[in-house]
Structure 1
Amino acid sequence: MHFLSAKAPYLRWAIIILLLRHTTLLCYSDPRISEAALICGKNRTSVSIIIPNFVKEMETISQSVTDKGWGSFSLINANISIYALAQCHNDLPRGDCLLCYAASRTRLPRCLPATSGRLFLDGCFLRYDAYNFFNETTDPRVDTRNCSSPEGGVGDEEAVNFAVNAGRLIDNLSGMAVVSGGFAVGNWKGVYGLAQCWKTVSREGCRECLAKASREVKGCLPNSRDGRALNAGCYLRYSAHNFIADPNRQADDGSSAVSKTGVKIIIALVVTAIFMISTFTAYTYRKKSLKRKEEGKNLGPILSSYNKSNLNFKYETLEKATKYFDPSMKLGQGGAGSVFKATLQRGKVVAVKRLFFNTRQWVDEFFNEVNLISGIEHKNLVKLLGCSIEGPESLLVYEFVPNKSLEHYLFEENKIKILTWKERFDIVVGIAEGIAFLHEGCSSRIIHRDIKSSNVLLDGNFAPKIADFGLARDFAADKTHLSTGIAGTLGYMAPEYLVKGQLTEKADVYSFGVLVLEIVSGRKNNAFVEDTGSLLQTVWKLYKTTQTTQVVDPLLEGVFPAHEASKAIQVGLLCCQASPGSRPSMSQVVDMLILENPHIPQPTQPPFINPSVLAAGNIKSAKTLMSDVLNKLDSSSYTTSSSSSTYQSSTRSQDFQHQ
């Protein structure tokens, strides 16, 4: 076991690959076990979670396949949901069916730790997924076909005749299968064919699937002498060779003896593979446990204090309150974790954030979320109610904000509702007051670092509440700035922060300015209008030509006070100036917005970045453009510090981290 622990990352894959290769060689001895397609999903999960659950699914289905040639099963627990289906084609004898299932069960683990995978062999089908797909007939994302290479020596006339005969057979089999319980085989003038629907698909679903399969597989003609359509709910094949098995073949004939031998070999390989997977699972679990202990040391100082405070929630209480993290209770998901609606005792509704732990980043974000804002209360900040640390995963508990994020009301194609001008202006003022409180109303200055529409939640009265403090930083009043790794969202980050890594509260001011222009216009900064530049550039052009009212969201149909709209736009541009020293403080912004006739300085041209640069995530290009801007500015109030120019993708969508 010590040897396995030391070599497991390499040994376990070497052995599994070796097993799969031997299985493949064996499978070629029977064409009905040859692989038509292996399709693995892109989403991945923890190896230590999915492997034991996958093995359990396969063991459960095995008995059903042995008894009746097919089986389906769903396994749902607090950590994962897995739905699985296995089915042999109806013409396969029982021994060959078991052989085909054993081969598919050995090969499909190549998809792990992906959360979905489907394997089409010529005699059977095996699929697992994270959702209930049993009634699924077609899947445009992954439905495919498999056309063999053209057979040598076939003349044009023969190919045309073959295509005509194959097309006729395909149409006949598709119709016959629908009325014959989802299965049909046959041959016509040297063409052999098989149509098979899965047992979980309805008769109408079978008809729909085979109709699509017929169109797809005919695309292999006239060049291919063997073609397969591989859909979510069915399999359809034609061939110039007789591949159809005799389901009534006797158990004591020669071919059955070969099948029995093959079954024994495959079963031995499967047992060995399961042993190796189980060994690796144990190794992974132990490694993860050691990692959790190390992470626990990092959280030690806060663990003891929060266990004794009213901020501490029991994991079991929150798990039960979310109905064991039922998908129906899910409010949303981001790069840092998923948020669930939860109902505590006495009917109190809260939001529970379930953090992801696949990197060390979660320790820093958890520390910020809990320690930085646990004692902060403001009407425009989401209140942190507590946390759970000692369970299998860490949870954060917030007040429940019912109307989702501001992003839903600004940028979704099918908007829940169109925000009125008054609602928009009140949201702008509320966000400004919340940020001003972070900058000036706390014992130390807190910089949010990720002000954007998706991090602003709306309560029952559509009042804004700033959320997600995982990237927040605080620093003492005697410091001019922090030199820190860059984190945030492209399009909202201030140029001096993007280029030099110098963080001050003026970075939040810049982000707020961009957000103000988005709220007024109803359009996103990095996805404005083709060929007209970024949102900042477009607004600036209209501002310079005194056409600011054209910036306002056309969905308002002109129902807004022009002077108030102009004031909001001017304040937004003032906050977006390239020089941080030219940007106002957030308390000054609040005064400019709420006072009747405030003095608002004329803004200078904001820094422009072409939206294509932002959309492509071209950090180096953005950095170069911003450097050119900053080099022309007086930045004497800032001390230049060297910063690395190596960037990598963050776990947040559209975000990046500077390590």
Structure 2
Amino acid sequence: MPFPVQICCHLKWVSLIIWILFLNPSLSDPRTSLAHLICDDTHLTTDANFVANFVSVMEHLNLLVIQRQWGLYSIQSPPLPIFGYAQCHKDLSEEDCQLCFTEARTKLTRCVPSASGRVYLEGCFIRYDEYDFFQETVNTRYDSRSCSASLKLLSDGDMKAQFSEKVAEAVANATEMATSTRRGGMGEAEVMTSVPAAYALGQCWNTLNSTGCQACLDNAWSKVKRCLPAGEGRAFNAGCYLRYSYLDFFGNGEDNDQSALGTRRACIIGGSVLGFSSVLALFGAIIGYYIFSKRREERKKHDEVPAFVNQSNLHFKYQVLEQATDHFSSSNKLGQGASGSVFRGTLPDGSTVAVKRLLYNTKHWVDDFFNEVNSISGVQHKNLVRLFGCSIEGPETLLVYEFVPNKSLDRILFDRNSRQPLSWEQRFKIILGIAEGLAFLHGGSQVKIIHRDIKSSNILLDDNLTPKIADFGLARCAAGDRSHLSTGIAGTLGYMAPEYLLRGQLTDKADVYAFGVLALEIACGKKNNTFTDDSGSVLQNVWENYKGGTIDQVVDCSSRPKDFEGKEAPDVLQIGLVCTQASAALRPSMSEVVEMLTSKGRAIPSPEQPPFLNASVLAPTDTDSSSAMTSSATSNMHTTINF
């Protein structure tokens, strides 16, 4: 078999390829992979407010993680207080930290309704419990370790002893850095270090002082050193996390793309494999040529795809969109979401569009992805952001949307510095528009779409304050791709229906629940994740006033006209309560909601349940007609994705 000249001249790099393919399978593992999950199944809560409090704690932690990559929050109201803590490892970038937290909190929902739970991902940690554990270093009941298989490269006792010594040295360096660079016992620290062929990371939670950090990592090392001479070992303590490995698993703390990160790692590993024998190099050359040939065939197949794509007006050239956004300049960045970042772009014809850079690669499912875009682009409604098309030929996948000139609803509704607060008429127009848009998604077109992430930041407003629902569709084809972050149950805590949050059971009634939360937020002018000792959440406050016959008192004062005496606002609030009932069977459809909002003579049904109910009450009414669906949905709940 003849070999290309380039491969024969660079056998050392081909050796590197074979090393990565066969001896280093974990190099491509994302830092969002699950390392350890602990749920206290012996203590299941029956408190009716537990789910609401859990959701609130997670929402507050999410905001803190976005701001500083760690945070703590607690709700200490009886009978069951909840304390929560989250932290990313110091070598993660801000974007990777947010993605890691998103994955971790969805996995943590497996513990509900346990009174406590911990989840350790390779890059971050979340814990909730019923007591103040913030200064806890060791918990003998739950702390544990895990070990990988022994390294085959260590063929004799001397090599095993040398590797063990290097691991001990790396761990000692990591521990010293973790404890010595803290500021006043609450600061941040660079906690990673490495020696040749051994790497270690010691991460203490920021609530510990230097003494507590030292004690925790010493305890962790006493556990994990029993893994040697295994190639990897991890210790999961209450106050810290310790990992050693023969692989360089560190991040650089910057928002670099995955290709740059892979190149950096390959260069590091390359230095350790240049001494391989000529026999291995020759074998690597053969395998390398085989891989080269396969990739050339795949590239040839991929090059054929634009042939049918170019025939559609949904196709955009990557170079055109790159220039339209000024090479994705930060000055044109409109926002950042779980699925990617959005940029303002000006096309050559002068029209303005919004361009979304997706965080995943679609090369393996181009046909399905384009067909999905083709279907969604046909869904047009005055209250939906229109999808114009996509670009699938460049180094990343881009979506092109209608540009909505005004801000998102959350920036206008909750901005206390806004020059002109929304009037009640404007709020009602927005609520009705969102309802009509959702009703159209659920049954007004040939493609039925469940949004799954209705919230104020996904509602855009045009110059006339007409609401337009963004980020819908594209869920089906995305689920098959494993190169991007799989966020488990897609959605935002605080807007997620109980049956979806706890079981993964997804129907259009999940959107109805989220709409109900959003409608109450718009009417009251407050976010649902705002918990205070005086009033509780928005849903709880509205429910209590509804029972007390004073529901009109919760309407945002800034939206009240002087002659505010109509029945419209109380009706909207009652509709919101009906939509947020814990049982999906008791919620109306979105088409029925539109009728309630537009037909003045139609009676509004009374809510039969409060919005806050424990998961145990969901079974009787929700599972009779969908028991078969529940099992399949639960098995797939960790493979779905939201855009």
Deviations 1:92-129 (A, max 9, x none): xxxxxxxxxxxxxxxxxx9xxxxxxxxxxxxxxxxxxx
What's the secondary structure of 1:502's corresponding residue?
Answer: coil
Distance 1:558 1:547 in 2: 18
CA 1:367–1:576 in structure 2 vs 1: closer, same or farther (change >3 Å)?
A: farther
8 Å contact kept, 1:449–1:487: yes
Structure 1 residue aligned with 2:513: 510
Pick one of 448, 457, 469 that aligns with 2:460: 457
Structure 2 residue aligned with 1:7: 19
CA 1:292–1:430 in structure 2 vs 1: closer, same or farther (change >3 Å)?
A: farther
8 Å contact kept, 1:365–1:471: no
Distance 1:295 1:561 in 2: 67
Work out whether 1:631 is the aligned partner of 2:643: no
Work out whether 1:546 is the aligned partner of 2:534: no
Structure 1 residue aligned with 2:385: 382
Structure 2 residue aligned with 1:576: 580
Give the CA deviation at 1:551.
1.6
CA 1:369–1:343 in structure 2 vs 1: closer, same or farther (change >3 Å)?
A: farther
Structure 1 residue aligned with 2:311: 308
Within 5 A, what are the aligned runs for 1:526-565?
526-530=529-533, 532-556=535-559, 559=562, 560-565=564-569
Given the two structures, how large is their TM-score scaled by the length of structure 1? 0.50
CA 1:12–1:516 in structure 2 vs 1: closer, same or farther (change >3 Å)?
A: closer
Structure 1 residue aligned with 2:608: 604
CA 1:335–1:364 in structure 2 vs 1: closer, same or farther (change >3 Å)?
A: farther
What's the secondary structure of 2:491's corresponding residue?
Answer: strand
Within 5 A, what are the aligned runs for 1:193-212?
none
Pick one of 430, 434, 443 that aligns with 1:427: 430
Structure 1 residue aligned with 2:596: 592
CA 1:44–1:537 in structure 2 vs 1: closer, same or farther (change >3 Å)?
A: closer
What's the secondary structure of 2:449's corresponding residue?
Answer: strand
Equivalenced residues, count: 388
Give the CA deviation at 1:306.
2.7
Distance 2:423 2:525 in 1: 11
Amino acid at match of 2:463: G
8 Å contact kept, 1:449–1:472: no
What's the secondary structure of 2:389's corresponding residue?
Answer: strand
The higher relative CO (CA closer than 8 Å, separation ≥ 6) is in: 2
Give the CA deviation at 1:434.
0.7
Structure 2 residue aligned with 1:496: 499
What's the secondary structure of 2:519's corresponding residue?
Answer: helix
Distance 2:293 2:514 in 1: 40
Deviations 1:285-322 (A, max 9, x none): 99999999999899899755432111111111111111
Structure 1 residue aligned with 2:523: 520
Distance 1:294 1:567 in 2: 62
Amino acid at match of 2:455: K
Distance 1:600 1:291 in 2: 63
Give the CA deviation at 1:548.
1.0
Within 5 A, what are the aligned runs for 1:52-71?
none
Work out the percentage of aligned pairs sharing the same amino acid.
53
8 Å contact kept, 1:377–1:383: yes
What's the secondary structure of 1:325's corresponding residue?
Answer: coil
Give the CA deviation at 1:409.
1.6
Deviations 1:4-63 (A, max 9, x none): 12334988999xxxxxxxxxxxxxxxxxxxxxxxx86733689xxxxxxxxxxxxxxxxx
What's the secondary structure of 1:590's corresponding residue?
Answer: helix
8 Å contact kept, 2:505–2:634: no
Structure 2 residue aligned with 1:192: none
CA 1:564–1:319 in structure 2 vs 1: closer, same or farther (change >3 Å)?
A: same
Pick one of 26, 43, 53 that aligns with 2:94: 43
Amino acid at match of 1:42: S
CA 1:405–1:367 in structure 2 vs 1: closer, same or farther (change >3 Å)?
A: farther
Q: Unaligned 5+ residue runs, structure 2?
A: 1-12, 28-89, 98-169, 171-185, 191-263, 272-283, 478-486
Structure 1 residue aligned with 2:180: none
Within 5 A, what are the aligned runs for 1:129-528?
276-277=267-268, 304-357=307-360, 370-412=373-415, 414-415=417-418, 417-470=420-473, 472=475, 486-528=489-531
Give the CA deviation at 1:566.
0.5
CA 1:332–1:514 in structure 2 vs 1: closer, same or farther (change >3 Å)?
A: same
Q: Unaligned 5+ residue runs, structure 1?
A: 15-38, 47-109, 111-140, 146-272, 475-483, 610-624
Distance 1:523 1:569 in 2: 13
Distance 1:411 1:362 in 2: 40
Structure 2 residue aligned with 1:137: none
Give the CA deviation at 1:433.
0.7
CA 1:404–1:426 in structure 2 vs 1: closer, same or farther (change >3 Å)?
A: same
Amino acid at match of 1:638: S
Deviations 1:207-264 (A, max 9, x none): xxxxxxxxxxxxxxxxxxxxxxxxxxxxxxxxxxxxxxxxxxxxxxxxxxxxxxxxxx
Give the CA deviation at 1:387.
1.1
Amino acid at match of 1:380: N
Amino acid at match of 1:343: T
CA 1:545–1:288 in structure 2 vs 1: closer, same or farther (change >3 Å)?
A: farther
Distance 2:598 2:311 in 1: 43
Pick one of 556, 567, 570 that aligns with 1:566: 570
Deviations 1:461-494 (A, max 9, x none): 11000110256569xxxxxxxxx97322222222
CA 1:547–1:645 in structure 2 vs 1: closer, same or farther (change >3 Å)?
A: farther
Give the CA deviation at 1:580.
2.2
Give the CA deviation at 1:596.
2.4
What's the secondary structure of 2:581's corresponding residue?
Answer: coil
The root-mean-square deviation of aligned C-alpha atoms, in Å, is 4.8
Give the CA deviation at 1:359.
9.6
8 Å contact kept, 2:435–2:593: yes
What's the secondary structure of 2:353's corresponding residue?
Answer: strand
8 Å contact kept, 1:452–1:515: yes
CA 1:466–1:275 in structure 2 vs 1: closer, same or farther (change >3 Å)?
A: closer
Amino acid at match of 2:404: V
8 Å contact kept, 2:344–2:353: yes
8 Å contact kept, 1:368–1:469: no
What's the secondary structure of 1:409's corresponding residue?
Answer: helix
Give the CA deviation at 1:597.
2.3
Greater Rg, structure 1 or structure 2? 1
CA 1:527–1:277 in structure 2 vs 1: closer, same or farther (change >3 Å)?
A: same
Distance 1:378 1:293 in 2: 43
Amino acid at match of 2:430: I
Give the CA deviation at 1:430.
0.5
Distance 1:558 1:442 in 2: 38
CA 1:324–1:489 in structure 2 vs 1: closer, same or farther (change >3 Å)?
A: same
Distance 1:325 1:423 in 2: 34
8 Å contact kept, 1:306–1:312: yes
Given the two structures, how large is their TM-score scaled by the length of structure 2? 0.52
